[in-house]
Each structure stands twice: as structure tokens, then as C-alpha cells.
Amino acid sequence: MTDHVHDLQSVREATDRMLTALAKLDNAALAEESHLPGWTRGHVLAHLARNADALVNVFAGRPMYASAEARDSDIERDAPRPLEVQLADVRATHSAFLAQTGQDQDWSRTVELRNGVTDLASNVPFRRLVEVELHHVDLNIGYELSDLPQEFTAREITFLADRWSGRPEVPPVTLQIEGDGDGSTWHTGGEEGGPVTLLGTGAELLAWLAGRGDGGAHLTVVGGPLPTLPPL
């Protein structure tokens, strides 16, 4: 089982790291573009706060979001808020998430997320860590995929590769960290492995899997052209 205690500590550290960086911004900076098309930095922060609320709902046995439309409208509503309000919201919802996950509970139970997706309760803290770490990068304030903790990068590659595996519409690809002595490999697509192998740093592999950064432009591609993944 996933070590949720370890992951919750990582969520604390990642959130503190992000809030420290955000404190250097001003209101005008929040209205500037993030790395996510169509979203300002304010949109990213609004999403992070509302996602924490949503995960509290998950642990409490409620629907994660009232609806897809409500989720989107809440983000649009909250995106223009000033920096002080945004940071207070992120802090408060982060604290509420930690309080909810700090309660005695069955971490082996299955919980329901968005769109009928289910997972073990013990995996949800890592899902929150993914939100915080990747959206810190998306904020476009100097934190890059290459700055992510190595442990997180490897786990997120594993998580995304698993998400893209067993799906016939996804190109079968083998991924490997270039020069990795332990020979760790990951696979995507409807069958294990394939004619194309992608070699690169952990950050470069993650960029391709997550649709971030240059989308894998710096990867070494063996056996064919660089495949394109569907949107996450």
C-alpha cells in the first residue's frame, strides 16, 4: 500500500514551497498567463484551492464536484481575486485537507473521484501532491519540471505510464531514463513496449507523458517519430 503518511508530508513541503514562491508576486502577476492555455496564474491558484475542497469531499464520502460545470464556473469566479485572497484560500483549503486526512479512517477503502474514477484512499494524498507540484510548474514563476524532487518525478512517470497503458488508442512506447543504471523502463499503449523507445531525463519523459513543457522535443527517439499522446 502507498505510504500516505509520507505523501502527506510531501504535500505539506510542496505547498509551503509553492506559497513561499507566490508571496514574491503581486496582483498584476496573477493576471498574467500561466503555462496552461487559456488560464492565468489566478486560474491555477483557484483550481488548486477548489481541488483541495473537492478532495475533502472525497474523504467525506460526498461527490468530488457538484458537476463539471460547477467546477469550471468556480474556477472562473475565483481566478480574478487579488493575491492576498488567493493565498489565504490556498492556505485555508490546504489546512482543511490536512485536517480531513488527519482523522482516523480506513486507508484501504475505495473512494470515488471525478467521472466515476475510483482509487484507494491511501493514493489520494499522492494525487494531491501531483496537483501541487505540477501546477507549481504551470504557474510559470520559475519552478520547472527539472526542479521537481526526483522521487516525485519517478512516481509520476509510473502513474502516468500506467494511466496510458492498456489503451489501444495510445501509441505503444517504451520509456527509459537515459543513462539510468538500474534500467527502469515504463510502457504505454495497448501492448507492452513497441517499436518506439523514448530516452531522456526524468523531467523530459514526464513532460511528454503529462503534456507539459516542450512535449518531449528534447527526447532521444529510437525506432520512429515522436508519438503524440491524447490530452490528459
Q: Looking at per-residue confidence, does 232 or 142 come out higher?
A: 142
Strand-pair partners of 221 = 198
CA separation for the pair 134, 153 (Å, rounded): 10
| pLDDT tens column, 66-109 | 999 999 999 999 999 999 999 999 999 999 999 999 999 999 99
Nearest to 17 by CA among 108, 200, 149: 149
Mean pLDDT over the full length of the chain: 93
The single-letter code of the amino acid at 75 is I
C-alpha grid cell for residue 168?
A: 489501444
**What average pLDDT does this structure show over 119-126?**
98
**What average pLDDT does this structure show over 16-28?**
97
Whether the CB-CB separation of 110 and 54 falls below 8 Å is answered with: no
Encode 5-66 in three state secondary structure. HHHHHHHHHHHHHHHHHHCCCCHHHHCCECCCCCCEHHHHHHHHHHHHHHHHHHHCCCCCCC
| pLDDT interval class at 63 (50, 70, 90) | very high
Which of 155-159, 211-215, 217-221 ranks highest by mean pLDDT?
155-159
Rg (CA), the chain: 18
Q: Is the pLDDT of residue 167 over 90?
A: no
Quick one: pLDDT at residue 181?
56
Task: Specify burial of residue 150 (Cβ count, 10 A radius: 0-12, 13-18, 19+).
Answer: exposed
| pLDDT tens column, 104-121 | 999 999 999 999 999 999
| pLDDT tens column, 173-209 | 999 998 765 668 899 987 665 689 999 999 999 999 9
